[in-house]
Amino acid sequence: MSRRLKMRIVEALPRPGRNRAASSPPLRPPGHPPVDGAAGGQQGPQLAEVKLAMIKGEITEEPTLDTSRDAKPITLLTLRFEAKDATDHWAPASCTVEVSSRLAAKFDGELHKGTTVLVAGQLAGGGDVLAMELCLASSAANLDAVGAG
């Protein structure tokens, strides 16, 4: 993967505090109270609620057009990839990836069954991934540096 692509993926990832007013309370996972610091009960490190995923996988079905939860047009991809199971063995896994129409338009018909892609995104309900960045693999060697799964 090129340095330029890595930078685009990193820049697309949400960061705690980005686009938030300075007076907003820090984000914490639901049900987690503030962590007391060592000195005088100060609040400890903050955790963002966003869960991130980076998946290298093969599109297993032809992409479908749909609408997002907020009624915006999206493309749905079903990806197959390898992941470790509860017994620490590699096993086939799959997920649905929601790709915005803006992001899908960059690939102008290149997203189809059998294409290997790298997706960086946010985990959504039900194990879906909301794509923030997408990369095609012109050959499997382009993504080998990312690792299995």
Look at 94 and 39; give whichever has higher pLDDT.
Answer: 94
What is the rounded CA–CA span in Å between residue 122 and residue 97? Answer: 10
Look at 47 and 130; give whichever has higher pLDDT.
Answer: 130
SS3 labels along the chain:
CCHHHHHHHHHHCCCCCCCCCCCCCCCCCCCCCCCECCCCCCECCCCCCCCEEEEEEEECCCCEEEECCCCCEEEEEEEEEEEECCCCCEEEEEEEEEEEHHHHHCCCCCCCCCCEEEEEEEECHHHCEEEEEEEECCCHHHHHHHCCC
Flag whether pLDDT at 12 surpasses 50. yes
Please tell me the predicted confidence (pLDDT) of residue 125.
80
What is the rounded CA–CA span in Å between residue 103 and residue 99? Answer: 6
Look at 86 and 1; give whichever has higher pLDDT.
Answer: 86
Flag whether pLDDT at 135 surpasses 70. yes
Instruction: Output the average pLDDT for the chain.
Output: 75
The CATH number of the structural domain formed by 3-16+50-146 is: 2.40.50.140
Q: CB atoms < 10 A from the CB of 58, how many?
A: 16
Domain range list for the chain: 3-16+50-146
Please tell me the predicted confidence (pLDDT) of residue 33.
53
Tell me the pLDDT tens digit for each residue of 67-99.
988 899 999 999 999 999 889 999 999 999 999
Tell me the pLDDT tens digit for each residue of 42-56.
455 565 577 899 999
